Amino acid sequence: MSLMKIGVIGGGQLARMMIAPAVELGVEIRVLAEGEGMSAQLAATAVGDYKDAETVLAFAKDVDVITFDHEHVPQPVLRALVDAGVPVHPGPDALQFAQDKLVMRAKLAELGAPQPDWAAVADEADLRAFLDDHGGRAVVKTPRGGYDGKGVRVVSDPSEVADWFASWDGPLLVEELVAFTRELAQQVARRPSGEVVAYPVAETVQRDGVCAEVIAPAPKASEKLIELAARLGVQVAEGLGVTGMLAVELFETADERILVNELAMRPHNSGHWTQDGSVTSQFEQHLRAVLDLPLGATDLASEWAVMINILGGPAEGGLTERFASAMAAHPAAKIHTYGKDPRPGRKVGHVNMVGDDLDDVVYEARAAAAFFA
């Protein structure tokens, strides 16, 4: 007998990491996977194309809510679910802001949320004008489909995205190149009935456009910064009508401003530290939020939590041995793996470490993760 039934579209590691809290809460979890042998295989009850409304509607029968491993389900499919009376969280109105960065920028501007200067540019002339106004360099993004640094280029001349202008249907997004001092991530959860909670803001370190490390709370963050980030996260969640987890990736500037960089409406890599570092993990919180159950406490479980991503090395040999070596050397490290075949650069797991001395925690987390490099 399960408490409730949740259907997750997408079989990646985010769906996988919802399994543990679902089992503990007593929530039945069903996954619509893209294929066999996906990361969330254990909970996969269907395999099919999430772009196909019929497939998704069949999967959604007899669950209490539909939620997501990713933000790529097309709007017509989302609308078909809603029309069929299926609760969908986050819903299509919110998800459009995560699906299209131009739509997001326009909405954040309307909300008055702090963000980099930006423009929709239809051609090289538009982009040249923006570059001229912003010191000759800027970030160009395809409005849809980018992730982990893909679909993002820093340019100083419009010709550097000539291929995108030639192939992309519609305008591109250009943003000022923010001279940030560091990147932060604010996790927030919101229920359909309105309750909203914020986690302590974390510092994120990116390498080659991919999240490498997260430290929570963000070191040396003033009370003011922590409050500012939490308030901004709540403002965005409420303003965009987000239900479930929201990750707001932020730039912090030298003059202590924070600017919205990216949004994700689901558990996010920048919040994996909560699995071992918070009273309520972002995965449990997402389940509670989309099921409209009361939200869990977001207090830290220790003074510090550090997350280090494991990027898959060579496909050949030795993951089990490296795993055992990491465990032997670091018995307090929490190693999470995603059941994915290792491939260079692929996220195949992460290490969480918590404790009261930041230097120790960082050192040990990195040392444990290094066994997988």
Contact status: 301 vs a second copy (CB under 8 A): yes
Could you list the residues known to form a binding site, using ranges. 101, 141, 175-178, 183, 261-262
Distance between CA atoms of 22 and 16, rounded to whole angstroms?
10
Q: Is 113 left (phi over 0), alpha (psi -120 to 50) or beta?
A: beta
- Among 126, 226, 323, 367, the residue binding a second copy under the rule CB under 8 A is 323
Q: Which stretch binds a second copy (CB under 8 A): 53-61, 92-100, 260-268, 289-297?
A: 289-297
Site string for a second copy, 26-65 (x = CB under 8 A): x-xx------------xx----------------------
Site for a second copy in 155-174 (CB under 8 A): none
Instruction: Give the whole-angstrom CA distance, residue 127 versus residue 277.
Output: 43
Q: Which of residues 342-361 bind a second copy (CB under 8 A)?
A: 342, 349, 354
* 61-to-2, 55, 58, 80, 133 alpha-carbon distances in Å: 16, 10, 6, 13, 52
Tell me if 24 contacts a second copy by CB under 8 A. yes
3-state secondary structure of 17: helix
Task: Copy the structure tokens of residue 99.
Answer: 């699906």
The H or E element spanning position 238 is helix 223-239
Beta carbon nearer to a second copy, 158 or 342: 342
**Nearest distance from C-beta of residue 299 to a second copy, angstroms:** 7
Q: Would you say 74 or 339 has its CB closer to a second copy?
A: 339
Q: Decide: 147 and 92 in contact? Cβ < 8 Å.
A: no
Nearest distance from C-beta of residue 93 to a second copy, angstroms: 25
User: Residue type at 33?
Assistant: A
Distance CA(223)–CA(228), nearest Å, equals 8
Contacting positions for a second copy (CB under 8 A): 1-4, 16-17, 19-21, 23-26, 28-29, 42-43, 275, 279-280, 288, 293-297, 299, 301-302, 319-320, 323-324, 327-328, 331-332, 334-342, 349, 354
